[in-house]
Amino acid sequence: MYSCLALFILVATSSICKGQNVFPKDPYIEVGSSINIVCQNNVQGKIYWTLNSERIDKSWPVTINSSHSVLSLLNFTHSSATLQCHSANTQVLGGTIIRTYTKPSNMSCILTDTIGDSWFMCTWEHQTDSSLKINYTVLCNSCSNLSEICNSQETSCKSKYADIAEEITFVGDFNVTVRAKHAAWEAFSEPQVFKLREILKINPPKLKVTAVSDHLLVEWKPTYKVQRKYRCQVKYSTAANESTPEVLNKNLAELENQGIVKIENVKSCSNYTVAVRCASESAPWSDWSQEETVLTKLNQSDVKLHLWRKVAEADENRVRKVRAMWAEIPSTCQETVTYTIKQTPYKQHMTGVDHMETSCDNSICDVNQDAHRINLKVFHNKSLFVEDSVYVPAIGERLPQVTNIQTSTFEGVILVSWKAPREPVSGYMIDYTHNGNIYSWKETKYTNTTLFDLLDKKPYNITVTPLFDDKTGHSTQAHQICSNVGDPGDFTNVNVQAKHKSAFVSWSVKSQEACRGAVVNYIIFYSTQDGPQLNVTVDNTTQHISLKDLNPNTQYSVYVKAIAHTGTTKSSERLFETKRFDPALITALSVCGSILIVLVLSVGLCCAIQWKRFQEKPIPNPGNSSLGLWRPTAHDQGIWRFQPLSYPHQNIFNVADPVEVQRTSISPLTPGCHDNPASDQTVEYTDPVLVTAPDIQSEDSVERKETQHPSPPEESTELLSSEGGPLSPYRSQSSVETAPRTSKPCKSVSLKQPDKTPPVTIYVTLDMFE
């Protein structure tokens, strides 16, 4: 591809330059080297040169004779450049492209001694276009007749040492060069000499680590056969500082074929990771050996029992329960240890150990009123490993104690300070608990301390006890203090009573929870489903509120927030719906309604009484009669008869129902007109007479439905006119009644009547009846 490109440029250039006037054509030169370029000028006159289209100044010498111009490029460092020679009238006489290449450099070789095989490996650097395909060869100058050691197309290569060993044994050193070969050029690195013992990278040593009582023993052996001087390094780390391992150096003499190192001051019961590497004199380091991890043993000097005790109030027998507490040996230790707690009466200047020692039950000792010592012994493999003891003062013993304990909290830690007793003390023991079962304790020399690692929002009881050389003073307890104060207590319930335009909201919060923040005020948030959120703030003495100006018949949601200096607590959200009507309005309405009913009833009663009076009158009242046109042909039976009002259920206002009158005589002939007066129910009509007019049957049924209700009283008078006709001549108010309407019900005619019959005007005044 590259040659294609070169060909293309060549063709292009030759087309620009008329004829092959410039030599050499497209040379490759080593960067920094020099070259002479010749331009043949048949044309007479001055000639000048351009490099990448820029005219070359005097920095490069040009020699000119009659037919040639020679440009000397010294120390040429361009990676690629186009050089052209021009005649005085700027005509291009010819050109060439000059490219440079670099030599491989910074070669380094090592001889690795991997298991089974030894390898001679070299690396070098070569600044070149990475797309160029270059074949590298490492050449051995000092070898007798093996010149090529290895080939590669990368900047490293290796060869089995066995293949070249024979060649170099005579020489002892490697004198090597690397050759870079490209299609157009070839470059050699500077020759470099490597001494065998300086490039020998040995195998990583074999390592063995053992945990001894208080240290680690590291042993290793270099694996190279040849006895040499070695320098070695041991690195070790715990899981905690894996990234910053400690390193120990150790040199091995020529005949010393094993390294031993002790790692001291190791932490008890911790995993240590150890690795080692070696190098022969100035040769490169071997790789690190495989890492070995060992668990260190429990070291007696690391065991700090921190024995302490908590003395309870004496019971009626003056027996006190003393709880012993100590720091147990970490569970990461694989050693099995046993603890024993015993108590001995304390006697000053006691000599010997033959005093009565009594066992305690687990960590609880029953101690009488006298002073005692609590002894803790730790056994490992049935032998005493460590022991400790602590003093329990007698009841009423005159001992100093601290005063004026001050406590405060700051970001989850408790600061405690106190006033020292007058007597000199060796220190103070501070113990603290949040539940009476789990105790923490710490010692200080100062009259203050900071308690860390506390549980969140727990009330702590803190006790300070002064310590003397072999005794303790009396304890003083501080006021209970919370590790930190949290949100206010949770809401227990939120109740809402909704009204028409207001709602009464009440709530309560869990009271008296330790370490809860004191409520400063409550904020009630409420809103409709899509309305803006409104809020009302009340102070901490109020636990209810009436929300005003609500919209009737609307759903609202409400919740309450308790605000304390230390946080807020939000209640759950409650939904409620305001009432559609004002209950007061409903009450007013119902009162009015009742009054109205009473009024109506009393009026009715009045009327009934009136009617009763009237009934008692022997003479009928014409005012109670219907009016009809008197027919001359009327029978006796058709004569208006007075119908006494004898149905108790009848409407008292319908004092003279003409229909009723009519019914008495014609009810069999007009069944569709009215219902049975005895019951106001719908009646199915099956009278055959009715069915005689099939053409109007359907219409009839419709009509009938409309007449199913008892006719109102005012309609009754109208009915009289409709029933006019041959069948009931005495009721007709019209003399020109049209076709007989036997099957037609009477009622609905009332409105149509005026259209069908010319109106007959009859004037009746009430006075007439009176």
Ligand X SMILES: *[C@@H]1O[C@H](CO)[C@@H](O)[C@H](O)[C@H]1NC(C)=O
Residues that bind ligand X (CB under 6 A): 32, 65-68, 70, 75, 77, 106, 108, 125, 135, 141, 144-146, 175, 181-183, 191, 193, 236-241, 246, 269-271, 293, 295, 332, 415, 433, 435-436, 446, 448, 450, 461, 477, 480, 518-520, 523, 535, 540
The single residue listed with the structure tokens 């100006």 is 549
The nearest distance, CB 164 to ligand X, in angstroms, is 9
Instruction: Tell which residue, 171, 159, 168, 179, has the closest CA to residue 109.
Output: 159
Q: Given 3-state DSSP classes, what are the helix, strand and coil percentages for the chain, each rounded to the nearest 5? A: 15, 40, 45
The smaller minimum CB distance to ligand X, of residues 233 and 238, is found at 238
CB 746, CB 719: distance < 8 Å: yes
Cα separation, 259 vs 253, whole angstroms: 10
The single residue listed with the structure tokens 């870079």 is 180
Cα separation, 478 vs 406, whole angstroms: 7
Give kind and range of the element (H or E) at residue 690: none
From residue 207, how far is each of 235, 371, 622, 737 by CA, in Å? Answer: 12, 57, 143, 139
The smaller minimum CB distance to ligand X, of residues 264 and 684, is found at 264
CB 271, CB 334: distance < 8 Å: no
The smaller minimum CB distance to ligand X, of residues 542 and 553, is found at 542
Structure token pair of residue 291:
């890492």
Cα separation, 747 vs 674, whole angstroms: 9
Instruction: Tell which residue, 310, 322, 324, has the closest CA to residue 368.
Output: 322
Cα separation, 548 vs 543, whole angstroms: 16
The smaller minimum CB distance to ligand X, of residues 446 and 642, is found at 446
The nearest distance, CB 492 to ligand X, in angstroms, is 16
Bridging pattern class, strands 105-113 and 200-201: parallel
The nearest distance, CB 213 to ligand X, in angstroms, is 17
The smaller minimum CB distance to ligand X, of residues 296 and 711, is found at 296
The nearest distance, CB 709 to ligand X, in angstroms, is 60
The nearest distance, CB 186 to ligand X, in angstroms, is 9
The smaller minimum CB distance to ligand X, of residues 455 and 586, is found at 455
The smaller minimum CB distance to ligand X, of residues 65 and 529, is found at 65
The smaller minimum CB distance to ligand X, of residues 550 and 661, is found at 550
The smaller minimum CB distance to ligand X, of residues 78 and 231, is found at 78
Structure token pair of residue 551:
């919209």
The smaller minimum CB distance to ligand X, of residues 74 and 607, is found at 74
The nearest distance, CB 125 to ligand X, in angstroms, is 6
The smaller minimum CB distance to ligand X, of residues 92 and 520, is found at 520
Cα separation, 275 vs 261, whole angstroms: 12
The nearest distance, CB 317 to ligand X, in angstroms, is 22
Cα separation, 695 vs 635, whole angstroms: 33
Which residues fall within 8 angstroms of residue 236, CB to CB, at 6 or more apart?
216, 218, 245, 246, 248, 263, 272, 273, 274, 275
The smaller minimum CB distance to ligand X, of residues 237 and 289, is found at 237
The nearest distance, CB 331 to ligand X, in angstroms, is 9
The smaller minimum CB distance to ligand X, of residues 26 and 431, is found at 431
SS3 per residue for 79-93 = CEEEEEEEECCCCEE
Whether the link from the prior residue into 27 is cis, omega within 30° of 0, is no
Q: Residue ranges of the alpha helices (H) in 138-216?
A: 161-168, 196-199
Helix (H, G, I), strand (E, B) or coil at 408: strand
The nearest distance, CB 207 to ligand X, in angstroms, is 16
From residue 662, how far is each of 7, 122, 717 by CA, in Å? Answer: 135, 139, 11
CB 335, CB 321: distance < 8 Å: no
The smaller minimum CB distance to ligand X, of residues 295 and 634, is found at 295
The smaller minimum CB distance to ligand X, of residues 564 and 719, is found at 564
The nearest distance, CB 284 to ligand X, in angstroms, is 11
The nearest distance, CB 546 to ligand X, in angstroms, is 17
The smaller minimum CB distance to ligand X, of residues 52 and 480, is found at 480
The nearest distance, CB 321 to ligand X, in angstroms, is 13
The nearest distance, CB 67 to ligand X, in angstroms, is 5
Instruction: Tell which residue, 523, 513, 510, 604, has the closest CA to residue 559.
Output: 523
The nearest distance, CB 336 to ligand X, in angstroms, is 16
The nearest distance, CB 66 to ligand X, in angstroms, is 5
The nearest distance, CB 234 to ligand X, in angstroms, is 12
Which residues fall within 8 angstroms of residue 257, CB to CB, at 6 or more apart?
221, 222, 227
The nearest distance, CB 187 to ligand X, in angstroms, is 12
The nearest distance, CB 224 to ligand X, in angstroms, is 23
* Amino acid in the structure at residue 161: Y
The smaller minimum CB distance to ligand X, of residues 295 and 314, is found at 295
* Amino acid in the structure at residue 108: S
Q: Residue ranges of the alpha helices (H) in 575-728?
A: 583-616, 658-666, 697-706, 713-722
Burial of 487 (0-12, 13-18, 19+ CB in 10 A): middle
CB 290, CB 204: distance < 8 Å: yes
Cα separation, 64 vs 85, whole angstroms: 12
The smaller minimum CB distance to ligand X, of residues 193 and 595, is found at 193
The single residue listed with the structure tokens 């298991």 is 115
Cα separation, 247 vs 261, whole angstroms: 11
Strand ranges inside 88-198, DSSP E: 92-101, 105-113, 118-125, 135-140, 148-152, 156-160, 173-181, 186-188, 192-195
Instruction: Tell which residue, 91, 88, 101, 157, has the closest CA to residue 127.
Output: 101
The single residue listed with the structure tokens 């147990």 is 328
C-alpha angle 500-501-506 in degrees, rounded to nearest 5: 95
